[in-house]
Amino acid sequence: MTSYKLLLLPGDGIGPEVMAEVEKVVAWLGKAGLATFETETDLVGGAAIDVHGKPLADATLAKADAADAILLGAVGGPKWTGVAYENRPEAGLLRLRKELGLFANLRPAICYPALASASALKPELVEGLDMMIVRELTGGVYFGEPKEITTLPDGSKRAVDTQVYTTAEIERIAHVAFDLARKRSGRVASAEKNNVMKTGVLWKEVVTRVHQEHYAEVELEHVLADNCAMQLVRRPKQFDVLVTDNLFGDVLSDVAAMLTGSLGMLPSASLGAIDAKGTRKALYEPVHGSAPDIAGKGFANPIAMIGSLAMCLRYSFGLGDAADQLDAAITRTLASGARTRDIASKGGKVISTAEMGDAILREL
Amino acid sequence: MTSYKLLLLPGDGIGPEVMAEVEKVVAWLGKAGLATFETETDLVGGAAIDVHGKPLADATLAKADAADAILLGAVGGPKWTGVAYENRPEAGLLRLRKELGLFANLRPAICYPALASASALKPELVEGLDMMIVRELTGGVYFGEPKEITTLPDGSKRAVDTQVYTTAEIERIAHVAFDLARKRSGRVASAEKNNVMKTGVLWKEVVTRVHQEHYAEVELEHVLADNCAMQLVRRPKQFDVLVTDNLFGDVLSDVAAMLTGSLGMLPSASLGAIDAKGTRKALYEPVHGSAPDIAGKGFANPIAMIGSLAMCLRYSFGLGDAADQLDAAITRTLASGARTRDIASKGGKVISTAEMGDAILREL
Ligand SMILES: CC(C)[C@H](C(=O)O)[C@@H](O)C(=O)O
Ligand SMILES: CC(C)[C@H](C(=O)O)[C@@H](O)C(=O)O
């Protein structure tokens, strides 16, 4: 059996706690003969700043580049508020995304039946919700230049960020979205602000052309990003695959995640281009952040992190069966009533991060 | 009694229908001796394109500049999809905002008690919601240069938008937010992405300084825009005044408006700087759009447009009493059960745009 090289980057806050549960599952996969992994653990974000003075050491980047896949916990926290912009914890994650070319961020927003009542929305609006946000991850305002603060003659300041998109960048993310739609419900919504932004104009134009030339059987709808945010709240189930740029994707995917009532349970995949050998770089991480306020307390829900491993099995290694087993174990664990603090009903029994990990292992 | 010059720009879609109801109220205010207006009506958006070939004629801009206040319906619709970017309907509205220096966009998100059940959120999360989004309106990615699409040597394209903010721009919008907070609950949340954007870094820095120097008694909280979108869905009542930039304000204010279940009822004010005479340019418009799909059918809810007139009385003319009367008449009309289609409960009685206007007049 092939052995896969997995780089674990727990990061900050609750990252290490939830990653510990993933390690248990990785060990189980090996013992069960489903997949063997060579794992290595390294630092990213604030944890790396504390040791190396920067949020991603070159040696770590080299390991990430050599790995078959990366699992990342979360980065950031108040401890590093004073750190220079260039060296803030988030810069480590952004550098990983950019240097490895992880341009396609897949963020499923799934409402687990057992948790529909945890949503802020009325249950009938979210029950059965299963959408996929495809966010462009290496372009747009996150990386465009100039990106700077200059001092004006009168001593006041002027800050600039630049959003850039090229035809090629939009084409490749559009292909990812349409390919996914083919395997799902056959519907794509594309969100931009073409009424205000030139990048929106080009986005709409390129997505429209890719659709016409290659995916005529998929249904395509264009929606303005502000209206899209509204529609997500009003009637989320109208969407299946939603493709959008880096910044709108950041906001819209957070809204979608929150709608499901399962924020602590949602994984994500960040994928690179498929190379000549048919492989692609990939990083998997929970949608939730580092939650420094609850770090170290055993409150964190490890399901998003374990679900990220399931996505990794599926997308990086073609181990759909193992991924299915893992997803099914999560569903059964939830059905059995196991609840970490974030998803517990009022007064209901609460278990710890490690107990949730163990409960999932028992179901496996 | 002073007579105020009011420019009415009904615009496109349902704009003319809802503006017709405002005209009835304006006439009533005169007869009741509460305020006299000289009104003039002109074209904006698609309606102006059809006549002048551009979405805001220079003569209309001159009238807007000379008016004491402007009421605008809505702009845009599929009819003008093919129009060149520079001449699209939205460009008329953006030119008005920019040329008149309307930098402060106030968007109340209020959940009318009679309508809490119309929200997608659970009623207990939105009942009593009364927040104010203060959106910067003449800066950011809407107006920064370069804003262009260029053709690359290989024939593919590159689109650029530029987000620019200066200290002065952030200072003046921060003052608007803090001044408002003083009259409200004394709390301001400021949303940006300082972890990714330099404009976010400057935004946070300037808002923090304005707070320390002038408004120490107001409570200030910084929140990342993506998390803010989440928090709006999760627990909207945690916010009172929310200040943010043009683009995040566009998205976040739409989310907030949708939460209230009262989208067809929310007015907004776009204000300029206060000049030496103590007056300021101002434009009032509903938060909702032109809704071309229901235009001309008498389905539109005129309350957002009439509420925009109430905001105008209050902010532009210091006629707080008349504004209160108008707001109270709207509340009573709703309490009496009058419902346009957008806010009707399933199977409930529905009245037309004009009938809603008349019902409010009867309550006045
Ligand atoms: C941590 C931060 C830089 C990041 C982003 O803005 O992309 C996060 O919000 C995300 O969505 O992954
Ligand atoms: C019509 C459009 C240009 C406008 C905007 O994006 O500002 C609208 O969405 C708004 O919020 O007023």
Q: Read off the pLDDT of each residue in A333-354 and give the average, rounded to a whole number.
A: 91
Binding-face residues of A in 27-66 toward B, CB within 8 A:
none
Question: Residue B61 has what pLDDT?
Answer: 98
User: What is the rounded CA–CA span in Å between residue B319 and residue B327?
Assistant: 12
Q: For residue A103, which of A111, A94, A90 has the smallest C-alpha distance?
A: A94
Contact B226 A76 (CB under 8 A): no
- Provide the whole-model pTM: 0.96
Q: Read off the pLDDT of each residue in B29-58 and give the average, rounded to a whole number.
A: 96
A4 in reach of chain B (CB within 8 A) = no
> Do B1-111+260-364 and B130-259 share a fold?
yes
Query: In Å, how far is B24's CA from the nearest CA of chain A?
Result: 31
B258 in reach of chain A (CB within 8 A) = yes
Residue type at position B364:
L
The ligand with the least distance to the CA atom of B249 is 2
Name the CATH superfamily, with its identifier, for domain A130-259. Isopropylmalate Dehydrogenase (3.40.718.10)
- Average per-residue pLDDT for chain A: 95
DSSP B345: P
Given pLDDT bands bounded at 50, 70 and 90, which one contains residue A229?
very high
To the nearest 10 degrees (0 to 180), the angle between helices A353-363 and A15-31 is 20
Q: For residue A134, which of A109, A111, A112 has the smallest C-alpha distance?
A: A109
Instruction: Dump pLDDT digits (tens) for A38-49.
Output: 999 999 999 999
The ligand with the least distance to the CA atom of B137 is 2
Q: Examine the pLDDT at A1 and tell me if it is beyond 70.
A: no
Question: Residue A37 has what pLDDT?
Answer: 94
Report, as residue numbers or ranges, the catalytic residues of A: 142, 193, 226, 250, 254
Strand A157-166 with A144-151, pairing: antiparallel
**Contact assessment for residue A29 and residue A35, using Cβ atoms and an 8 Å cutoff:** yes
The ligand with the least distance to the CA atom of B95 is 2
Q: Which atom of ligand 1 has the smallest separation from the CA of A75?
A: 1
Contact A156 B166 (CB under 8 A): yes
**Contact assessment for residue A129 and residue A118, using Cβ atoms and an 8 Å cutoff:** no
With contacts defined as CB-CB under 8 Å, which chain A residues touch B263? 230
**Contact assessment for residue B187 and residue B153, using Cβ atoms and an 8 Å cutoff:** no
Q: Examine the pLDDT at A240 and tell me if it is beyond 90.
A: yes
Cis-peptide into B146, omega within 30 deg: yes
Q: For residue A265, which of A237, A288, A290, A284 has the smallest C-alpha distance?
A: A288
With contacts defined as CB-CB under 8 Å, which chain A residues touch B136? none
User: What is the rounded CA–CA span in Å between residue B14 and residue B298?
Assistant: 9
Backbone φ and ψ of A266, nearest 5°: -100, 125
Q: Read off the pLDDT of each residue in A254-282 and give the average, rounded to a whole number.
A: 92
Question: Residue A345 has what pLDDT?
Answer: 83
Q: What number of other Cβ atoms are within 10 A of residue B54's Cβ?
A: 18
Q: For residue B359, which of B200, B350, B270, A306 has the smallest C-alpha distance?
A: B350
Which tokens in the block code for residue B177?
């937010």
Q: What number of other Cβ atoms are within 10 A of residue B278's Cβ?
A: 7
Q: Examine the pLDDT at B1 and tell me if it is beyond 70.
A: no
Hunting for tokens 């010059």 — which residue is that? B5
Query: In Å, how far is B279's CA from the nearest CA of chain A?
Result: 27
Question: Residue A115 has what pLDDT?
Answer: 84
Binding-face residues of B in 165-204 toward A, CB within 8 A:
165-168, 193, 195-199, 201-203
Q: Which atom of ligand 2 has the smallest separation from the CA of B89?
A: 1
Instruction: Dump pLDDT digits (tens) for B293-341.
Output: 999 999 999 999 999 999 999 999 999 999 999 999 999 999 899 999 9
User: What is the rounded CA–CA span in Å between residue B24 and residue B13?
Assistant: 19
Contact A76 B195 (CB under 8 A): yes
Which of A161, A169, A202, A346 best probes binding to B when mutated, by most B CB atoms within 10 angstroms? A161
Choice from A93, A103, A143 to test ligand 1 binding pocket (greatest atom count within 8 A of CB)? A93
Instruction: Dump pLDDT digits (tens) for B54-110.
Output: 999 999 999 999 999 999 999 999 999 889 999 999 999 999 999 999 999 999 999
Q: Is B179 considered catalytic here?
A: no
Q: Examine the pLDDT at B346 and tell me if it is beyond 90.
A: no
Instruction: Tell me whether residue B97 is annotated as binding.
Output: yes
Query: Taking the domains of chain B in order of start, what are their residue ranges?
Result: 1-111+260-364, 130-259
Q: Examine the pLDDT at A244 and tell me if it is beyond 70.
A: yes
Instruction: Dump pLDDT digits (tens) for B271-295.
Output: 999 999 888 999 999 999 999 999 9
Instruction: Dump pLDDT digits (tens) for A162-174.
Output: 999 999 999 999 9
Percentage above 90 pLDDT, chain A? 92
Instruction: Dump pLDDT digits (tens) for B216-271.
Output: 999 999 999 999 999 999 999 999 999 999 999 999 999 999 999 878 899 999 99
- CA B263 – ligand 2 centroid, Å: 15
Residue count of chain B, please give it: 364
A97 SS3 class: helix
Backbone φ and ψ of B159, nearest 5°: -110, 140
Query: What CATH number labels B1-111+260-364?
Result: 3.40.718.10
Q: Read off the pLDDT of each residue in A131-158 and give the average, rounded to a whole number.
A: 98
Instruction: Dump pLDDT digits (tens) for A277-307.
Output: 888 999 999 999 999 999 999 999 999 999 9
User: Poorest-confidence range of A178-192, A228-242, A252-266?
Assistant: A252-266
B233 in reach of chain A (CB within 8 A) = yes
Question: Residue A114 has what pLDDT?
Answer: 79
Contact A202 B88 (CB under 8 A): no
Residue type at position B247:
L
Query: What CATH number labels A1-111+263-364?
Result: 3.40.718.10
Binding-face residues of B in 70-89 toward A, CB within 8 A:
76, 85, 88
